[in-house]
């Protein structure tokens, strides 16, 4: 006996193969490692993808196109800062596109990329690297099961090999 779900709905644990393409290039694929698992409806994956998964069945495949607003957001013009070249360690090569971690005066660490360099002014882009991008997800549903009440309460999956101790 089982009440295993046959379609994706809230509180179902989804095991999903996916390939993410941006501008026609593969950026990331579960096929290189293992499928992802998450509880549907809890915002563990980008909203535009989660929304499109409702109702899918095991082994169903779909190409989902996610606009920036439902992916990693639009590019925020306020998320650029100008930093003087002298603020960087000498060994950092300051070229457009180079990813960096920057620390603010109160200790927060940000991922950034060099947007441009003009004279002594280095302009950093603090937007998510996929901000402003349309995301193409090629997905296949591998398996579905009902999340346990405990998993729903914790907001994450308990797998039997790697239980995390507070519950199992
Ligand atoms: Zn837990």
Dist. CA 124 → ligand 1 center (Å): 38
Dist. CA 19 → ligand 1 center (Å): 28
In terms of domains, do 27 and 66 share one?
yes
Dist. CA 152 → ligand 1 center (Å): 9
Q: How far is CA 132 from CA 6, 53, 75, 80, 91, in A?
A: 35, 22, 5, 14, 31
Residue 168 located in a structural domain: no
pTM, full prediction: 0.80
Highest mean pLDDT among 8-17, 107-116, 152-161: 8-17
Spatial distance between the Cα atoms of 97 and 48, rounded to a whole number of angstroms: 27
Dist. CA 73 → ligand 1 center (Å): 29
Token readout for 164 is: 């995390």
pLDDT tier for residue 1 given thresholds of 50, 70 and 90: very low
In terms of domains, do 34 and 112 share one?
no
Dist. CA 164 → ligand 1 center (Å): 6
101 beta partners: 111
pLDDT tens-digit map of 69-119:
999 999 999 999 999 999 888 888 899 999 988 887 888 888 899 999 999
Spatial distance between the Cα atoms of 84 and 100, rounded to a whole number of angstroms: 15
Query: Which domain covers residue 34, as residue numbers?
Result: 12-72+131-154
In contact, 58 and 11? CB cutoff 8 Å: no
State how many domains the chain has: 2
Residue 53 CB neighbours (<10 A): 23
Dist. CA 155 → ligand 1 center (Å): 7
CA-closest candidate to residue 124, choices 73, 74, 88, 72? 88
Dist. CA 150 → ligand 1 center (Å): 7
């Amino acid at each position: 006996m089982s009440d295993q779900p046959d379609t994706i709905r809230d509180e179902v644990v989804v095991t999903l193969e996916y390939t993410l393409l941006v501008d026609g290039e593969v950026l990331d694929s579960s096929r290189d490692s293992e499928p992802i698992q998450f509880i549907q409806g809890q915002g563990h994956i980008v909203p535009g993808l989660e929304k499109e998964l409702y109702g899918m069945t095991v082994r169903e495949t779909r190409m989902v196109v996610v606009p920036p607003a439902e992916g990693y957001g639009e590019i925020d013009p306020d998320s650029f800062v100008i930093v003087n070249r002298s603020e960087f360690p000498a060994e950092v090569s300051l070229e457009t596109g180079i990813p960096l971690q920057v620390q603010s005066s109160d200790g927060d660490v940000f991922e950034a990329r060099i947007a441009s360099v003009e004279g002594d002014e280095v302009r950093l882009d603090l937007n998510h690297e996929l901000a402003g991008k349309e995301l193409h997800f090629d997905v296949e549903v591998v398996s579905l099961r009902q999340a346990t009440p405990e998993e729903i309460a914790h907001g994450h999956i308990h797998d039997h090999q790697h239980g995390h101790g507070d519950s199992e």
